[in-house]
Amino acid sequence: MTTEKVRCLIVGSGPAGYTAAIYASRANLAPVLYEGLQPGGQLTTTTEVENFPGYPQGITGPEMMEDLKKQAERFGADIRIGMATKTDLSQAPYKVTIDDEKVIEADALIIATGATAKYLGLEDEKKYAGMGVSACATCDGFFYRKKDVAVVGGGDTACEEALYLSGLAKKVFLIVRKPFLRASKVMQDRVLNAPNIEVLFEHNAIGLFGKNGVEGVHLVKRLGEADEEKLDIAVDGFFLAIGHKPNSDIFKPWIETDEVGYIKVEPGTPKTKVPGVFAAGDVADPHYRQAVTAAGTGCMAAIEAERYLMNQK
């Protein structure tokens, strides 16, 4: 297995990784960035991005990520295809194995591997990706003003998404497979008292339908029971709110994560408990999960990496 030594390694792309690469390149850290399983991150699955500053007419997710990538390359970032498969952060230089065939030894490491939205596993979720299926109400809710939408989930996140959408959409169906909400009492009260939110308890989404995009959801009420009933509801948008899985597994032996897997950082910084290892973007953000906040933490991580390397001299 070959070994390569670098000053600053960035694992993961997307707004956090590419922004870290821009700042690290301008600081003469000669960063090497591996794009990971999904080059460009989650935004490459989004059709239109209208809430990132600087794009008054909006831009597609893939186009925006390509812009960020080109900007990083302009300043000298070495951006490569490859996925981190193993790590050893027991001591510096930190070792990251790429594709099980090459070891990168880095003086400073920026983790920007993101988080993956959980889906129900329906074939229709793939079929209508970018055509009515979304895992982010804050990102895509604007496109459903005065329309009917459905949100799947029964926890705090689902209730938050439903409430956010209720301020935009005409009607919000909250599809809950259990006969109760798991959300906190205050969130439950807000949802149950919202005039344009209808909670469908004991309902399972089993499919979607529509010609050129989502037009409705196939549901089963009381699945598996004697009084099981199939029904359809007409909606223009289908929002998943059943959680995210941070892509942090290969780092867990060395750094702290919360119970879900989000990397713990010092409040207000991208610093992990391992000196010289920083986390940026959705892998360390269970709250906002926005492109602009991810880019901000990517900037912070690169600045902290520069300061760390300067002090190491």
Gap between the Cα atoms of 147 and 235, Å rounded: 8
DSSP string of 81-149, one letter each residue: ---EEEEE-SSSSEEEEETTTEEEEEEEEEE---EEE-----HHHHHTBTTTEES-HHHHGGGGTTSEE
Task: Look at the alpha carbons of 254, 256, 262, 263 in this order and tell me if their dihedral is positive or negative.
Answer: negative
Gap between the Cα atoms of 155 and 44, Å rounded: 27
Active-site residue, 159 included: no
Q: What is the CA 171 to chain-centroid distance, rounded?
A: 26
Active-site residue, 140 included: yes
Torsion of CA 133, 206, 145, 57, to 10 degrees: 10
Selection from 219, 179, 170, 175 nearest residue 200 by Cα:
175
The residue annotated as part of the active site, out of 8, 107, 124, 139, is 139
Single-letter amino acid, residue 231:
L
Exposed, middle or buried: residue 227 (CB in 10 Å: 0-12, 13-18, 19+)?
exposed
The residue annotated as part of the active site, out of 8, 136, 159, 299, is 136
179-204 exposure pattern, b = at least 16 Cβ within 10 A, e = fewer = eebebeeebbebbeebeebbbbebbb
Gap between the Cα atoms of 247 and 280, Å rounded: 12
Active-site residue, 148 included: no
CB of 95 closer than 8 Å to CB of 84: no
The residue annotated as part of the active site, out of 140, 148, 236, 285, is 140
The residues annotated as belonging to the active site are 136, 139-140
